[in-house]
Amino acid sequence: MDLKIKDKVFLISGGAKGIGESISRTLAEEGARVVIIDPSLEEGGKLMEEFESKGVEALHIPKRLTGPDIALEAVEKAYAKFGRIDGVVNNAGANDGVGLENGTPEDFRASVEKNLGHYFDLVHYALPYLKKNKGSIVNISSKTAVTGQGNTSGYIAAKGGQLSLTREWAVELLKYGIRVNAVIPAEVMTPLYENWLNSFDNPEEKLKEIEKRIPLGNRMTKAKEIADTVVFLLSERSSHTTGQLLFVDGGYTHLDRAL
């Protein structure tokens, strides 16, 4: 299936590792031009070398989106290099464990800002270019936004906010033909997830326990499965899909886990 995204330009925050890396690779495989906004120098550098060897046009902006100025810089650099922007994937963020009992009000506000603020910033500055091309936006959220997790109020509030912004932006941007959707993973093996697993005395046992609760195949979702859905939503093949919250989780969130 031709997704019709060849030579289009997509910004991916946190695009050098984990789910973001898989999204970057999948876009590149489909012929898109990729702008990776990620402070990971080693991972980003390796990805750029790989893309260059395959003739993929790409740009790595080794910055963490810590404020509006960084988002503006990223958008300006992307446009300066490629002369267009066709889509944004908001993906960067981390579960920092700031909870109601173990965090302060200041910690909570900082956590929400860290995980939600840059979603707004990047789209805000990219919007003039997205309007020109009837672009597409995909927000990566988390099943914890609808299930809760415990002891992570800041991250969950941000993830819930991402889902609300998806619906709000889908309404606001209808008049420009810009589509906005969210993809919601549950259990996906990423470097951050692996670090969390390794915090247990027996990581392998913990992993098996989790996999048993995932109805479809009793296995973790692959990062590539998330990426395939994201790239489809960015493409013209999903031209009448907007304001949707898509769970790519093997039924983890909604099906009876006794299955």
C-alpha pair distances (Å), 120 with each of 9, 161, 239? 19, 10, 23
∠197-200-204 over CA atoms, to 5°?
60
Given the residues 79, 125, 129, 155, the one annotated as active site:
155
Within 8 A by CB and 6+ apart from 183, the residues are: 138, 139, 140, 141, 226, 229, 230, 233, 246, 248
Q: How many helices (H) and strands (E) does the chain have?
A: 10, 7
Q: Does the annotation mark 119 as catalytic? A: no
The whole-angstrom separation of Cα 36 and Cα 228 is 17
Helix 68-82 vs helix 118-133: crossing angle, to nearest 10: 30
CA dihedral 152, 157, 158, 160 (to 10 degrees): 120
Residue type, 234: L
Q: E strands within 124-196?
A: 136-140, 179-185
The whole-angstrom separation of Cα 253 and Cα 63 is 33
Q: Which residues are catalytic?
A: 155
